[in-house]
Structure 1
Amino acid sequence: MAQYTNISVPDPEWAAISANLPERAPFVSIPAFRERVAALRAKINLTADKGATEGLTVIERKIEVVNGEIRVRAYIPDSQENEVGGFPLMVWMFGGGFVVGDIDDDDVFLRNTAVHSRIVCVQGDYRKAPEYPFPAAVDDSYAALKWALSNSSELSIDISKGFIVAGASAGGILAAVLAHRGLKDPEIKGKITGQILLIPTLISPFAYPEKFKSELLSLDKDEDKHMLTKRDFPRGYEAYHGDLHATNLEVSPLLAESFRGLPPAYIQIAGLDLLRDEAFLYERLLRDAGVPTKLDVYPGVPHGFYVVFKELTATKKQEKDFATGLDWLLGRSS
């Protein structure tokens, strides 16, 4: 849309970096893509901060899910003298286009968040497509959420202080779906107090409805050639839902008939992201339904910028904004 033109002008820092980067290699196969991502993760980890190692306890378990089991991990801050009772809860879903990723990817981020934001962070190692197609990722993530609630005493959780579902990219859509699912589950309804959607995908690229096509233009603009491209983006969705479920509301929550009653949402959007417009549209639909929203936009940077390019000023701002957005959802700030 015309009003987004200004945020798609490349950030000068990103322009300088991207000028020396090769274009993203073509998608060949999921195994090849997984190898490429693993190599990138290993490179990042060589110089990455290891995150908080003191001031918290990390617990890992295996839980049963439909036709299998997954790992779940909880990051629990140590209680301080002025803290009474348990901590609020954030259930986190990692990204990876439904085909890559695991609970180690965001370990540093969750360690630091637990300690600095005084919140229990829980995530489940949801299974990936194509080996485990939809609805495995949703069901596994929901199982991790219910495990956290069922073990609230051991995990020092007090959801009366806040209960947030959160995720990035594909994890963002899982967080949005869990927020919707929570409205229909008598055990969960009314308990989720917030949702965090970072650079989220919110609709299958095969399910764009005619009524929203004038608002969903960033996918066709395909403005970034380095992080997420139109050529490759649909491959994860193809593996995840095949030809059967593109319009299923747990694949494409943007198609929901109603957004009323959903918890307040904090959303981050990157200006060069293919997924930019669907995040803007989702925020508007939430707001139109009376759902409180808080939005931070990072002009001129691509999808996943803060994961790979720690030196960017935009990354430093994104990290601070996340803590502020989390505090907003927890009622700790205006």
Structure 2
Amino acid sequence: MQDLAPLILPRAPPLDPSWLAHESAANLLAPKPSLSAIDRQPLYAASCRALNASMMAPGARDHHLSRGISISSLTIPSTVDGFAIPVLRYETELTKTASGGGKKANEWEEKERKEKVILVYYHGGGLVVGEADSEDLSCRRLVLQSGIAQHLTLYSVGYRLMPQVPACTCVPDALDAFTSICNLNRGAKFILVGSSSGGELAALVSQMAPRGSVHGVLLRCPVTSDAFSGPQYVPARLRAMHTSASESFVTSLLGFFTREVPRDGLERMPLEIGEEELVGLPRTWIQICTNDVLYSDGLCYAKALQDAGVPVKVDVVVGYPHTFWLKAPQLQRALEADEEMLRGLVWAADV
């Protein structure tokens, strides 16, 4: 069992020099324009697409991620109002070939029952920005470089965003997508993956889904509490170790959350689940960054799971800010963080 006590930080350490160099070169400390959430949404989506494309351009480090993969679109109806939730399905070319012919159907069906692994991916963005392809590099890397199964498929969920809908719609969108994906892939092993607010959704879905339907969970810098609205939103038994909602953890990538209402109006955050309800949750791998106001969210959730007997692993990225691999994927440390994610997937899938 991993000893989490040494990971409690009274204040954030210095930022790594390579991050400081990038921060300066990218002018991240300059004042940011004041935009509404609705205005930010298309700009954020476009910037993610441009950055991902640049990383996969010919001659770029991740050009290999542009090949050997098939991406298709589908929609899943919301149980709330029938809205068509957009989903992107990522498959290796081998998986696509296998499902399309070349062997007898019953041979492939038998092989897939033994080997099929399904990843359900929830992007970050504070439940305000981001689309199903916003974390395209991470999705492609998981599918192409996991090495955990011959047949691996990833579904990236484009759940609806605030303020067009309340947060209490984002959560059922995430759960509806997972339920439908399960129905499409009976007999597979299901792994939930989420970064930042997508980690919040992945954690909530793992708690709400029928026990045994989720095999493992990968959370990267997850939102699990609303410590910014007050200590009462962190369970009393964990408050002493929740230290990151303080000024020293603020960076150019993420400051304090300002919510119009606590928890964005949700009944509870993942960290607030009852202790007895944590028992039997799937093995969970959590990656946290030391220079992140959400650092303690991930650490405290790991502690809560561990105390309930859930297998947990925590990976700590020292000297870097919140989900920095999405904003500066070209950095060597960003690639190393992704490689840790792949090792976390092997562990979570228990293969």
Q: Is the 8 A contact 1:62 1:71 kept in 2?
A: yes
In the alignment, structure 1 residue 13 sits paired with structure 2 residue 18 = yes
Q: Structure 1's 2 and 165: CA in aligned 2 closer, same or farther, altered over 3 A?
A: closer
CA deviations 1:30-86 (Å, max 9, x no partner) are: 134335524532552451216645444433212211222111222223248999225
CA distance in 1, matches of 2:166, 2:39: 19
What is residue 120 of structure 2 aligned with on the other side?
91
1:295 to 2:331 alignment? no
The corresponding residue for 1:206 is 229
What's 1:76 paired with? 91
Percent of residue pairs identical: 25
Give the match for residue 76 of structure 2: 63
Question: What's the offset of the Cα at 1:115?
Answer: 2.6
Change (3 A) 1:51 1:106: farther
Whole-angstrom distance in 1 between the partners of 2:223 and 2:137: 23
Structure 2 residues not aligned, in runs of 5+:
1-5, 57-62
Residue 88 of structure 1, CA deviation:
0.9
1:1-334 aligned within 5 A: 3-4=8-9, 8-20=13-25, 21-23=27-29, 25=32, 27-34=34-41, 36-38=43-45, 40-49=47-56, 52-65=65-78, 66-67=80-81, 68-77=83-92, 78-79=94-95, 84-86=111-113, 87-117=116-146, 118=149, 119-152=152-185, 158-159=187-188, 162-182=189-209, 188-204=210-226, 205-206=228-229, 208-209=231-232, 211=236, 212-230=238-256, 233-234=257-258, 237-238=259-260, 242=264, 244-245=265-266, 248-249=267-268, 252-258=269-275, 259-332=278-351
Whole-Å separation in 2 of the counterparts to 1:320 and 1:16: 22
Q: Deviations over 1:91-132 (max 9, x none)?
A: 110111001111111233223322322421112210001111
| Structure 1 counterpart of 2:192, one-letter code | V
CA 1:35–1:60: 2 relative to 1, 3 Å: closer
CA contact (8 A) 2:118 2:154 kept: yes
Q: CA shift at 1:200, angstroms?
A: 0.6
Q: Distance in 2 between matches of 1:181 and 1:27?
A: 36
Tell me if the contact between 1:133 and 1:239 (Cα under 8 Å) persists in the aligned partners.
no
Give the residue type in structure 1 aligned to 2:139. Answer: L
- For 1:261, the aligned partner's letter is G
Distance in 1 between the 2:125 and 2:177 partners?
18
From the superposition, tell whether residues 313 and 58 of structure 1 become closer, same or farther in structure 2 (CA, over 3 Å). Answer: closer
Q: Distance in 2 between matches of 1:25 and 1:95?
A: 20
C-alpha RMSD over aligned residues:
2.7
Q: TM-score, normalised by structure 2?
A: 0.80
Q: Is the 8 A contact 1:127 1:137 kept in 2?
A: yes
Measured in 2, the distance between the counterparts of 1:264 and 1:47 equals: 35
Deviations 1:252-303 (A, max 9, x none): 1111112211111000001101100111111111111111111111111001
Deviation at 1:28, TM superposition (A): 4.4
The C-alpha deviation readout for 1:114-152, integer Å capped at 9, x for no partner, is 232242111221000111112211111111111211111
SS of the aligned residue for 1:238 comes to: coil
Q: CA deviation at 1:331?
A: 1.6
Unmatched segments (≥5 aa) in structure 1:
183-187
Contact 2:122 2:156 in 1 (8 A): yes
Give the length in aligned residue pairs: 312
Q: Take 1:42 and 1:328, find their aligned partners in 2: how far apart are those partners?
A: 30
Give the letter for the 1:34 counterpart. Q
